Chain A
Amino acid sequence: MSKWGLCWQGYRATTPLMVGVAPFGFVFGAIATGNGMSGAEAVGMSIIVLAGSSQFIAAQLLGDHTPALIIILTTFVVNLRHFLYSASLASFVRPLSKGWRALLAYMMVDEVYAIVITRHLKRDLTASELAWFFVGSGFCLISLWWTSTFVGVMIGNILPANTVDLLSFTLPLIFTAIVIPALKTRPMLFAALSAGITGIICAPMPNKLGLLVAAAVGIAAGLWSESQIAPTPSQEAA
């Protein structure tokens, strides 16, 4: 398949997520301007930071006159999960040039990662083929994130709140459609259940810390379950 064909595949695979992402960008634009940011700053944050949940938190913190350092540290903690995303693809993108890796790292947001890793796990693409798929997916999501932020800044809060709630609920539904078919082995199922239950229990933790705790518990549970099924000498050593 040609590189543009793969790019288009990545774009198309990401389109179902648009309906869930657009209202977030829209609401972010509206909230940011309501919290003392200018329109340029709101759109600038969507371009420079490009990380939904941390942008919402930052908008709220800016409104509360929180010191810059605290906001930056909070952003770091909230986005630490992206380290795991990149690490899980690191060996695969290694053959790519520095420029490619720099671009893909910029595009590594939750939704794009979910789409790309799903395709990656089919193991049918080379590194450069996956890179084009990645760019298509990233372009779809990022251009939408920028424009929806812009529209939110311009039009402000006119969508009724329950419509926004309903649209944003499609995001967990999409993630569900990605996760459930991936639970083919017992360790995977165990990892998902442990992460989910911990996520529910730890949800009240500040600054989305519960998400990191839950992900760590899920990963540990998967590893533990794996070691129960097929202990090998190297695993016992680890």
Chain B
Amino acid sequence: MIWLTILGMGVVTYGVRVLPFTFLREEMLPNWVRRGLNYVPVAVLSAIIAPEYLPSEKWGHFTLDAHLLAGIAAIVAARVTKNTILTIFVGVAVLLILR
């Protein structure tokens, strides 16, 4: 039964990834959707990042801790250096110092 569940999970996950590659044609999409796709990377990644810096388990209750300062430091580091390794280094260093 677990194997069947895994197989089902695999089918829906792969389906979601492969459908736009096989059946979708750009001309089929309305103009606003095509322009909207430009914002997908930035929007999705920002939506993943932000709650890591300012987590909230319950509605309206936010966990203000070292992660937020580490995140802000990383944002500044990314803006100034445009360097992935330095950004990681600054973020981790701030987290280690503060916690």
Do A and B truly interact? yes
Where the two chains meet, the residues of A that have a C-beta atom closer than 8 Å to any C-beta of B are 16, 36-38, 41, 44-45, 48-51, 54, 58, 62, 68-69, 71-72, 75-76, 79-91, 93-94, 98, 101-102, 104-106, 108, 110, 113-114, 117-118, 166, 169-183, 187-188, 191-201, 203-204, 210-211, 214-220, 222-223, 226, 234-235, 237-238
Establish whether residues A114 and B41, one from each chain, have CB atoms under 8 Å apart when the complex forms. Answer: yes
A32 to chain B, nearest CB (A): 10
Closest to A46 in B: B6
Residues of chain A contacted by B59 (CB below 8 angstroms): 204
Residues of chain B contacted by A49 (CB below 8 angstroms): 6, 9-10, 13
Establish whether residues A48 and B6, one from each chain, have CB atoms under 8 Å apart when the complex forms. Answer: yes
**Chief secondary structure at chain B's binding surface:** helix
Closest to B37 in A: A88
Number of A-B residue pairs, CB cutoff 8 Å, is 267
Establish whether residues A101 and B18, one from each chain, have CB atoms under 8 Å apart when the complex forms. Answer: yes
- For B47, B48, B83, B84, the residue with the greatest tally of chain A CB atoms inside 10 Å of its CB is B47
- 20 CB contacts below 8 A, A to B, read A62-B5, A89-B20, A94-B26, A98-B22, A176-B71, A177-B74, A180-B75, A191-B43, A192-B46, A195-B47, A199-B50, A200-B56, A200-B62, A203-B51, A204-B59, A219-B36, A220-B36, A226-B35, A235-B32, A238-B31
Size range of the chain B interface in the assembly: 35 or more
